[in-house]
Chains A and B, each alone.
Chain A
Amino acid sequence: MALTLHGTVADNTAVLDRRSAKPLIINGDFAVAQRGTSADGTSAYLIDRWKKQAATTGNVAVSQDTDAPTGFINSQKMLASGASSFFQTGQQIEYKNFYPLLGKAASLSFYYKSDVDVIIRIRTGTGGADSVVLFAGSVASTATVSPSADWVQYVHNFSVATNVTSLSIEFATGTLANTDFVYLAGVQLEQGTFDANSIAPFQHESFGDNLARCQRYCTAITKEANYGPVMMAHGVDANTARGAYFFRTPMRSAPSFTATGDFIRSYGSSTAASSATAVSTRFSHSIDWTVSGAFALDEGILITFKTGDASLIYSAEL
């Protein structure tokens, strides 16, 4: 098999010398959106691994968009519908993934277009591993890029101190007005000092591989069909059935859990059940489903979605 090199010597060195087999930034192409594809500026995750926050939540809309630079099919779009003193979005990288950068130079590359300045912030912490620094930690490095009407790539160089135990990369704005916008795409983090000409190409993963990596931090089960199966359960008593979900990808930590919409037993009752966690682990999670008089001890039960939008969300974000 012949190895064909293109570009400059530096270009090829960057690719051949890459230290990580997988991208350090997970879902840097904004392709995976298990929680949904649009939301307001409330401080929360929307597109997988990317948290967002606006000062005035109702005046900012965030969405997965198909306007993207050449070589990508998705971006994250922020569009203001009124005033907000700031918007920010970012990703905290797990210590187990970023530790090879300790004591090293690093380059954050991304594509953007906007009608406002975009502020890059690298936040770090030196306490317990993976303490939350996203939107909150010490700013170790920052830069500001000017508005660009067209997609443009920018590379920010910084270094990671040897004692860093938490690391996040963030993009922020100053004060926003109606119709202000920021698009982000193709976010990648590399060991070494590069510019837009020398940095290695974005590491595209298959959608399935990308989804599996995201599921370490969030697993969402969303209704696709009326009465679609959710999980098997067994009767604990007349009012409660206990069911379990086994994660295909073990989660980073025992996850937090929430449910939205209605769930029912598959036969004999259309009364929606309330849900409460019984046990949460990195590998599996059990739920007590409660409906008055709907179950019997040791009865096998299939829990299904009802007819409206519904989802189970398991979150083990940093």
Chain B
Amino acid sequence: MDKDNIKTVKKLPPVMSGEDTTIVRVTLQDDAWWDVPMVSDNSDYQTVQEWVADGNTIAEAD
């Protein structure tokens, strides 16, 4: 996943109510999507963190 190809990032609802979200949905410029776990050794999540460091924001879950 390339940082420049990310269109939006949004948290998915937690698997159990009251728990923290552990997955974000990344939508790419061509509208393809990836569900990315929020773990440091996932290279896609590393890319999301770089995208956020550039000033972008992860949307909250519905």
Contact = CB atoms under 8 A, between A and B. Distances in A.
B12 interface: yes
A253 B34 contact: no
B35 A277 contact: yes
Contact of A43 (B2, B26, B32, B46): B2
A255 B12 contact: no
Contact of B42 (A131, A255, A286): A255
Contacts of A131: 46
Contacts of A256: 1, 26, 34-37, 42, 44-45
A278 interface: yes
B22 interface: yes
A254 B32 contact: no
A194 B31 CA distance: 47
A132 B43 contact: yes
Given A277-B12, A280-B23, A317 B35 contact: no
A316 interface: yes
B39 interface: yes
A130 interface: yes
A257 B34 contact: yes
B5 interface: yes
A286 B22 contact: no
B44 A315 contact: yes
A297 interface: no
A271 interface: no
A130 B41 CA distance: 8
Contacts of A196: none
Contacts of B45: 256
A16 B11 CA distance: 52
Interface in B5-20: 5, 12, 15
Nearest to A253: B41
Contacts of A280: 22-23, 35, 37
Contacts, number: 58
B37 A258 contact: no
Nearest to B23: A277
Interface string A252-280: 11111110000000000000000011111
A102 interface: no
Nearest to A258: B34
Contacts of B34: 256-258, 315
A316 B45 CA distance: 11
B60 to A, nearest CB: 15
B25 to A, nearest CB: 7
Interface string A306-318: 0000000001111
Given A279-B15, A280-B23, A286-B15, A258 B44 contact: no
Contacts of A258: 32-35
23 contacts: A43-B5, A130-B41, A252-B41, A253-B42, A254-B39, A254-B41, A255-B37, A255-B42, A256-B35, A256-B37, A256-B42, A257-B34, A258-B35, A277-B23, A277-B37, A278-B23, A279-B22, A279-B23, A280-B23, A280-B37, A286-B15, A315-B34, A317-B43
Given A253-B42, A256-B35, A279-B15, 18 more contacts: A43-B5, A130-B43, A132-B43, A253-B41, A253-B43, A254-B41, A256-B26, A256-B42, A258-B32, A258-B33, A258-B35, A276-B25, A277-B35, A277-B37, A278-B15, A280-B35, A315-B44, A317-B43
